[in-house]
Amino acid sequence: MLVHTALDRAEQVARHWVAGGCPVVIHVDRKVPRAIHDAFAARFADLPDVCFSPRHACEWGTWGIVAASQAAAEMMLARFPTVRHVYLSSGSCMPLRPVAELRRYLDARPTTDFIESATTADVPWTVGGLSEERFTLRFPFSWKRHRKLFDRYVDLQRKVGFRRRIPPGIVPHMGSQWWCLTRRTLSAILQDPDRKVYDRYFRKVWIPDESYFQTLSRLYAQSIESRSLTLSKFDFQGKPHIFYDDHLQLLRRSDCFVARKIWPQADLLYKTFLGDDAAAMKGTEPNPGKIDRIFAKAVERRTRGRPGLYMQSRFPRDNWENGVTSSPYSVFEGFTELFEDFEPWLARITGARVHGHLFAPHQVEFEGRQSTFNGALSDNALLRDYNGRAFLTNLIWNTRGERQCFQFGPGDSQFISWDIARDANAQISVISGAWAIPLFQSNRNFADLRTEAAMLQKIESEHLSALRSPWAKGRIRIWTLAEFVESPMEALQQVLDEVGIQEQRRLSEVPRMVDLTGFGQFLQNLKNQGMHPYLMGDFPVDPAPDNAQKPARKPYLVR
Amino acid sequence: MIAGLAARIGLDRVRRRGAAGAAAAGRVWAAARLAYWLRWKRRRLLLRAIRKRRQLRAVTDRTAGIAPEAILAFATLRNEVARLPFFLAHYRALGVAHFLIVDNGSDDGTLALLCDQPDVSVWSTQASYKLSRFGMDWLTWLHWRHGHGHWCLTVDADEILVYPHWETRPLSALTGWLDGEGLQSFGALMLDMYPQGPLDAAPYQPGSDPVASLPWFDAGNYMIQRHPVYDNLWIQGGVRARLFFADNPRRAPTLNKVPLVRWNRRFAYVSSTHQILPRRLNRVYDTLGGERMSGVLLHSKFLHMIANKSREELARRQHFENSDLYTPYHEALMQSPDLWCPHSTKYEGWQQLEDIGLMSKGNWV
């Protein structure tokens, strides 16, 4: 048992092992002051089955831990000749099942070595980029204390092309440092005539406690079970996860023999698992599956986060968002201008939340024109424009599970123009030039109309260039007004297919298009005034009689 | 040696990039200048705090009993006799070993209440709150004097810290985990809690959980930007932005805080606990898409006392840098308005806050 802090807990665990009939050799880190060590050792005076091995300084990632394990293992094999399996544990390990159960388990497998051991090429465990290089470079500097020197020296060796020679006969393996080896294997490792060679080599290997026994046991073991009997989970930086009182049920259901690390103040865990009434589990195989899943999820939460969430501890740089928003939504540009009752129709047919112009200049047009919306978003336009992107991402995040649709156009504030363009969740359908329809219908001075048309055209053309840029990731469809009016049903059907309405029926009901009689002439008038509207495509200057033949367009079915 | 120096400040890389590097060189120098300026700013703040120590009069000083690894809580307060019983009980339960409190001229019995507590040291001052950088100069002195090497929690009397698993894991579990991760600071969002109906409808009973009186909050209207100088996230929004600062959102209160720090006497908070120097302590967020662990400070500002406090504040003008701008805000609060809206969210616990995304467990399972 390797111990460096929380000596009270270590004592408790050691006594538990001894009570279960297992002799214990304790190694106390040399960094623990002598006085404390002696007092600690004295507390075991009543237990002949506990002894203390020569002390080594154990710094993470260095040889000290292996030296300590070797010394302790030698002492164990020498002092207790009846011992068949040696289990390496630490002061923060805790047996979850009665010791007798572990003994039974090992008795049934007298020649099996439990040690996680895999070749470097085959496992993605390593954190920090050093896997094979652990064995081929030198590591004289402490990673914890002299990180810069450590990194520099690694870089230098890479540049120079330095490689250490791996001693003949061994193939580097890695795995959890917590093993359980048979006397046979362990003594073979410790008494190997070449041990000096191996020790000298591993002394300069990076994190040798995860590779020394793992490699050498491959030379001698009769049958290796490549797994650790100790449940030990690591986070994305290779630091061990800690178990607290609230993990009690999780640990109970894991059926593992030993777990680490346990938080020293986790009184409930210690009371439950080291108490006399430690209920025997079903005597089954360890089953850490559930714990594995929970911890894997936590690592994912820490490294990838929840897409589309911007909060105090997740604020990705541009393009690192892993999804600008959290879920798909639809943006319609020019549809409300072309169709008279587009919003209610869309809501009816898709069942989605259909907003008006969310980015309208004076007020946010939420569905039903509410003054607040999910997450207490306000309809105040100033508040929205203070951080347009936050408004959009908040809206989509707050309505997770419901599809949002909203209208957009050149009359709206344009802060999110680029954000929706580069958002893969955005489905953007544009009828370009449709902004001219309200102008055409309005009864304002032509000079004003001309100015406004020029401005809107400029804004929309900028927006379109964002949508057409190579950075645009949304699902974007752009029709000119002329194209759209040519075959509106087909276009609508396409859009709705992407929104993903459940029913496969073809459109049975279509919105009513506004009367465009005279629109071509209106555009021509603009041209005549020197303002060339081009975004709506080639709209015919409709000769009046031709238009008269088909007056109000009636809704019809497309089959 | 010159080459080494060039490498350290990034010049060698710049040189290699040649002409295109001119802009980068400008950035390097700008960054170096900023770092230099901030270093002096931090020293100025510390000096200022050390000078202001004379404004503090120790009323009860029990700091001699502070154990080496004790978690300390610091606060400046005034007339908080109603909130204090719950405040002390909450943080005691979380494992705060000692409270170091500056009382800024209370006249409602706050001082007497504090002096009766066995784990509280109290300093008293009548000096200006505003001129002491809203109490921060005094606290910086106490941090400097007593906080070195400790995990220090700096909160207001109306802030209740919750973090993932707080009901089952005391602060020492959190700080132990932060130590293990090599982190020195822990961020928390200040979440304004409010009741349904007029603010003075239900009087608060001292000692009870203020969140029970103020169970509502705004769940998803927060606006975040990165602060260009201090590198913290500048978070605004919530109910106060929605109702009182909608026409001037820039003025809306700042909600990001760094309340828990493994203190070093070289550290100094800049404005309230929103920003701290050195800047690395402000980086409590992930920029590569992941989520760090974070907490929430449940802000019980809107208890029924708020109307009177606002009235007093209008007279004292001690609370904001530019007090005139906040006059309409205080006047509105004096009317005990209803802050609730149909899309307000009712508080259910930290799991809910985690789920909504106001705080995160990160990888602390």
Asked whether the beta carbons of B270 and B45 are under 8 A apart, the reply is yes
Q: What's the pLDDT at A150?
A: 86
Nearest residue in chain A measured CA to CA from B180: A239
Nearest residue in chain A measured CA to CA from B165: A246
Tokens representing A320 are 């690192």
B29: in domain: no
> Alpha carbon of A97 to those of A103, A256, A275, B125: distances in Å?
11, 7, 11, 59
Q: What's the pLDDT at B309?
A: 87
- Condensed to tens digits (0 to 9), the pLDDT of residues A326-354 reads 999 999 999 999 999 999 999 988 888 99
Tokens representing A377 are 């978003």
Q: Does the pLDDT at position A365 exceed 90?
A: yes
**Which chain A residues contact residue B185 at CB under 8 A?**
none
Number of other residues whose CB lies within 10 A of the CB of residue B264: 16
Q: What's the pLDDT at B112?
A: 95
Give the pLDDT mean for A109-130: 78
Portion of chain B with pLDDT greater than 70, in percent: 93
Q: Establish if B89 touches chain A: CB-CB under 8 angstroms.
A: no
Asked whether the beta carbons of A237 and A278 are under 8 A apart, the reply is no
Q: What's the pLDDT at B20?
A: 57
Please state the ipTM of this predicted complex: 0.90
Cβ-defined contact of B365 to A241 (cutoff 8 Å) = yes
Q: What's the pLDDT at A544?
A: 46
Q: Establish if B292 touches chain A: CB-CB under 8 angstroms.
A: yes
CA distance B142 to chain A (A): 28
Q: Establish if B222 touches chain A: CB-CB under 8 angstroms.
A: yes
Q: What's the pLDDT at A542?
A: 61
Nearest residue in chain B measured CA to CA from A316: B287
Tokens representing A509 are 């009901």
Q: Establish if B185 touches chain A: CB-CB under 8 angstroms.
A: no
Give the pLDDT mean for A424-439: 94
B40: in domain: no
Q: What's the pLDDT at B191?
A: 97
Cβ-defined contact of A375 to B221 (cutoff 8 Å) = yes
Nearest residue in chain A measured CA to CA from B245: A383
Give the pLDDT mean for B10-26: 57
User: Which of B 338-357 lie inside 8 A of A, CB atoms?
Assistant: 341-345, 357
Band of residue B154 on the pLDDT scale cut at 50, 70, 90: very high
B39: in domain: no
B118: in domain: yes
Closest listed residue to residue B296, CA positions, set B191, B184, B182? B191
**Which chain A residues contact residue B180 at CB under 8 A?**
239, 242
**Which chain A residues contact residue B173 at CB under 8 A?**
242, 244, 263, 265
Residues contacting A288, CB < 8 A, separation 6+: A231, A254, A255, A256
Q: Establish if B260 touches chain A: CB-CB under 8 angstroms.
A: no
Q: Establish if B94 touches chain A: CB-CB under 8 angstroms.
A: no
**Which is higher by pLDDT, A82 or B4?**
A82
Q: Does the pLDDT at position B6 exceed 50?
A: no
Q: Establish if B196 touches chain A: CB-CB under 8 angstroms.
A: no
- Condensed to tens digits (0 to 9), the pLDDT of residues B138-152 reads 999 999 999 999 999
3-class state of residue A282 by DSSP: coil
Q: Does the pLDDT at position B200 exceed 80?
A: yes
The partner residue sitting opposite A309, judged by closest CB among B173, B233, B357, is B357
Long-range contacts of B129-134 (CB under 8 A, 24+ apart): B129/B76, B129/B78, B129/B104, B129/B318, B129/B319, B130/B317, B130/B318, B130/B319, B132/B52, B132/B55, B133/B48, B133/B271, B134/B76, B134/B271, B134/B272, B134/B318, B134/B319
- Condensed to tens digits (0 to 9), the pLDDT of residues A55-86 reads 999 888 889 999 999 999 999 999 999 999 99
3-class state of residue B92 by DSSP: helix
Tokens representing A371 are 């003054």
Nearest residue in chain A measured CA to CA from B186: A313
The partner residue sitting opposite B290, judged by closest CB among A302, A383, A391, is A302
- Condensed to tens digits (0 to 9), the pLDDT of residues A2-49 reads 999 889 999 999 999 999 999 999 999 999 999 999 999 999 999 999
Cβ-defined contact of B289 to A376 (cutoff 8 Å) = no
Considering only A150-164, A328-342, B206-220, which range has the smallest mean pLDDT? A150-164
B321: in domain: yes
Residues contacting B53, CB < 8 A, separation 6+: B138, B141, B145
Average pLDDT over chain A, rounded to an integer: 88
- Condensed to tens digits (0 to 9), the pLDDT of residues B242-296 reads 999 999 999 999 999 999 999 999 999 998 999 999 999 999 999 999 999 999 9
Give the pLDDT mean for B48-68: 94
Peptide bond into A261 cis (omega under 30): yes
> Alpha carbon of A339 to those of A514, A516, A517: distances in Å?
6, 11, 14
Residue B117 is part of which domain span?
A: 52-356
Asked whether the beta carbons of A355 and A405 are under 8 A apart, the reply is yes
Q: What's the pLDDT at B135?
A: 92
The partner residue sitting opposite A377, judged by closest CB among B220, B256, B291, is B220
**Which chain A residues contact residue B285 at CB under 8 A?**
312-315
**Which is higher by pLDDT, A498 or B120?**
B120
Q: Which residues of A334-460 form beta strands (DSSP E)?
A: 353-357, 372-373, 377-378, 404-408, 426-432
Band of residue A165 on the pLDDT scale cut at 50, 70, 90: confident
Q: Does the pLDDT at position A535 exceed 60?
A: yes
Cβ-defined contact of B170 to A265 (cutoff 8 Å) = yes
CA distance B342 to chain A (A): 8
Give CA–CA dist B147/B314, Å, rounded.
Answer: 34
**In total, how many domains does chain B have?**
1
B189: in domain: yes
Q: Does the pLDDT at position B8 exceed 80?
A: no
Residue of B171, B287, B343 for testing the chain A interface, max A β-carbons within 10 Å: B343
Nearest residue in chain B measured CA to CA from A298: B363
Considering only A367-376, B166-175, B220-229, B316-325, which range has the smallest mean pLDDT? B316-325
**Which chain B residues contact residue A370 at CB under 8 A?**
342
Q: What's the pLDDT at B320?
A: 67
The partner residue sitting opposite A312, judged by closest CB among B170, B294, B345, is B294
Q: What's the pLDDT at A11?
A: 94
Asked whether the beta carbons of A241 and B365 are under 8 A apart, the reply is yes
**Which chain A residues contact residue B220 at CB under 8 A?**
374-377, 394, 397-398
CA distance B65 to chain A (A): 22
Residue A180 phi/psi, 5° resolution?
-140, 105
Q: Which residues partner with A240 through β-bridges? A: A234
Q: What counts of helices (H) and strands (E) characterise chain A?
A: 23, 19
Cβ-defined contact of A313 to B359 (cutoff 8 Å) = yes
Q: Establish if B106 touches chain A: CB-CB under 8 angstroms.
A: no
Q: Does the pLDDT at position B7 exceed 50?
A: no
Give the pLDDT mean for A181-191: 93
Q: What's the pLDDT at B317?
A: 76
**Which chain B residues contact residue A298 at CB under 8 A?**
361-365
Give the pLDDT mean for A176-181: 91
Portion of chain A with pLDDT greater than 70, in percent: 92
B244: in domain: yes
Cβ-defined contact of A378 to B247 (cutoff 8 Å) = no
Considering only A155-164, A323-332, B42-51, B68-77, which range has the smallest mean pLDDT? A155-164
Q: Establish if B247 touches chain A: CB-CB under 8 angstroms.
A: yes
Give the pLDDT mean for A171-187: 91
Tokens representing A557 are 């079915």
**Which is higher by pLDDT, A239 or A546?**
A239
Q: What's the pLDDT at A89?
A: 93
Residues contacting B329, CB < 8 A, separation 6+: B240, B244, B245
User: Which of B 261-290 lie inside 8 A of A, CB atoms?
Assistant: 284-290
Q: Does the pLDDT at position B15 exceed 80?
A: no
* CATH code, B204: 3.90.550
Q: What's the pLDDT at B10?
A: 43
Band of residue B3 on the pLDDT scale cut at 50, 70, 90: very low
User: Which of B 133-172 lie inside 8 A of A, CB atoms?
Assistant: 165, 168-170, 172
Average pLDDT over chain B, rounded to an integer: 91
- Condensed to tens digits (0 to 9), the pLDDT of residues B92-129 reads 999 999 999 999 999 999 999 999 999 999 999 999 98
Give CA–CA dist A41/A51, Å, rounded.
Answer: 8
**Which chain B residues contact residue A402 at CB under 8 A?**
none
Residue A443 phi/psi, 5° resolution?
-115, 50
Q: Does the pLDDT at position A91 exceed 80?
A: yes
Phi and psi based region of residue A479 (left: phi greater than 0; alpha: psi -120 to 50; beta: remaining): beta
Q: What's the pLDDT at B319?
A: 72
Helices A99-107 + A7-19 axis angle, to 10: 60
Q: What's the pLDDT at A77?
A: 94
Residue of B171, B239, B358, B363 for testing the chain A interface, max A β-carbons within 10 Å: B363
Q: Does the pLDDT at position A227 exceed 70?
A: yes
Which runs of consecutive H residues, i.e. helices, occur in A98-167? 99-107, 133-136, 147-160
**Which chain A residues contact residue B291 at CB under 8 A?**
301-302, 305-306, 309, 311, 313-314
Q: What's the pLDDT at B195?
A: 95
Q: Which residues partner with A333 through β-bridges? A: A408, A430
Give the pLDDT mean for A358-365: 95
Q: How big is the A-B interface in CB pairs under 8 Å?
A: 180
Nearest residue in chain A measured CA to CA from B242: A378
Q: Does the pLDDT at position A213 exceed 90?
A: yes
**Which secondary-structure segment (H or E) carries A173?**
strand A173-174
Which runs of consecutive H residues, i.e. helices, occur in chain B? 2-8, 11-17, 21-52, 84-94, 110-115, 136-142, 171-181, 210-213, 238-244, 306-316, 327-334, 350-356
**Which chain B residues contact residue A377 at CB under 8 A?**
220-221, 343
Cβ-defined contact of A390 to B220 (cutoff 8 Å) = no
CA neighbours closer than 13 Å in the CB half-sphere of residue B22: 2
Portion of chain A with pLDDT greater than 90, in percent: 56
